[in-house]
Amino acid sequence: MLFIPFRVIYIHNENTLKGDKTMADRDFFKTNFGIEIELTGITREKAARVLADHLRGSIERQNDYYDSYKVTAPDGRAWKIMYDGSLRCQRKVNGQKVAAGREYSVELVSPILTYEEDIETLQEIVRKIRKAGGFSNSTAGIHIHLDGADHTPRSLRNFVNIIYARNDLLYDSLQIERERMRYCKKMDKDLVERMNKKKPKTFKEIEDIWYKGYGSSRDRHYHESRYHFLNLHSFFNGVGTVELRGFNGTLHAGKIRSYIVLALAINNQALTQKSASTKKPQIENPKFAMRTWLNRIGLIGEEFKNCREHLTKHLEGSAAWRFRRAA
């Protein structure tokens, strides 16, 4: 929905990744990010209290269109609890989910975060909101904003190609809810073809390709082009971020960590590869295709075992053998 503008505080390492070599470093964790988590089950006021209690921060009701609450932490960073009109509001009565009023529409909007400093805090906030009665439903989503300061025309084109090549794999892996499809459409084939035919060298050229075919003004906050898995409207006419919108709402802290790690790793792949192909991976064994790609972009070893499990759980096939399906 709304997001706090990013500031440039990190200069990206210029070491490049050629082809499909495995990322051996942890540079992708240094990119700033923000997250928006949609949920229901509790009121915005209660969510703000839970957030303030955990952060030991102060609450200020904004009295704006989104009936938002600003929670300022002792470090000065502001978190927000906001209304989102796309949510189906619910609450639980005697263990059953029932319809609820608009005060049960909750969107948690983080300030600028870094993985290594803030992931544990974010996960604990999610757990406490869940414990307080919050839950997700099929209308809830999660959006991850990635700092765009280090991106170039080449890396944005890479990002488009990476997402397009794995449209089907990502949608199957993430089990995107039908009710949310119109808010996170697959990467458009015509756009990708125009991008790779023209091979844009400037941001203006990429921007013109991105908005081609839309009649409305580019500076509209809710521009139609934003409703894709990969949203560059936020980069060109928003807050300078690349947004990934293809995550179902959840209050499972481990899944949310997995989504963030995936977003950061894809972002790093786009930044560091010289080029990215639009060729789709083999489809005879989706689980194997996903696992090998995750390894290639940096999700290697015991540290990311749970992330790999979450991201391959819903895919068919064998993670270990390309030509042998799981029993």
Using one digit for the tens of pLDDT, what is the confidence trace for 132-163?
A: 999 999 999 999 999 999 999 999 999 999 99
* Domain final position from 110, 135, 160: 135
Q: Are residues 69 and 154 in the same domain?
A: no
Q: Do 170 and 91 lie in a common domain?
A: no
> Are residue 58 and residue 197 in the same domain, yes or no?
no
Question: Above 60 in pLDDT, residue 9?
Answer: no
Q: Which contiguous run of DSSP H or E holds residue 268?
A: helix 253-272
Question: What is the layout of strands, in order, in the sheet containing 106-109?
Answer: 58-61, 69-72, 78-82, 106-109, 33-39, 141-147, 241-248, 230-231
User: pTM for this structure?
Assistant: 0.90
Same domain, 161 and 266: yes
CA Rg value for the chain: 20
What is the average per-residue pLDDT within 28-47? Answer: 96
165 and 45 share one domain? no
On the question of pLDDT at 30 being above 50, the answer is yes
Q: Does the pLDDT at position 109 exceed 60? A: yes
Residue type, 214: Y
Q: In the 8-state DSSP scheme, what is residue 6?
A: P
175 within some domain: yes
For residue range 274-286, list pLDDT tens digits in order: 999 999 887 789 9
Q: Do 60 and 28 belong to one domain?
A: no
Do 113 and 54 reside in the same domain of the chain? yes
The DSSP output letter for 141 is E
| Angstrom distance (rounded) from CA 72 to CA 293 | 39
On whether residue 66 sits in a domain, the answer given is: yes
End position of a domain, from candidates 103, 135, 167? 135
Domain count, the chain: 2
Q: Is the pLDDT of residue 211 over 50?
A: yes
Report whether 223 contacts 233 (CB < 8 A).
yes
Q: What per-residue confidence (pLDDT) applies to 317?
A: 87
Last residue of a domain, one of 90, 115, 135: 135
Same domain, 161 and 303: yes
Output the CA torsion sign for 199, 204, 206, 209: negative
Which pLDDT does position 25 carry in this prediction? 56
Residue 229's domain comprises 18-33+142-327
- Domain shared by 24 and 131, yes or no: no
Give the tokens for residue 79. Answer: 């978190």
Q: Under DSSP, is residue 293 helix (H, G, I), strand (E, B) or coil?
A: helix
The reply to whether 98 falls in a domain is yes
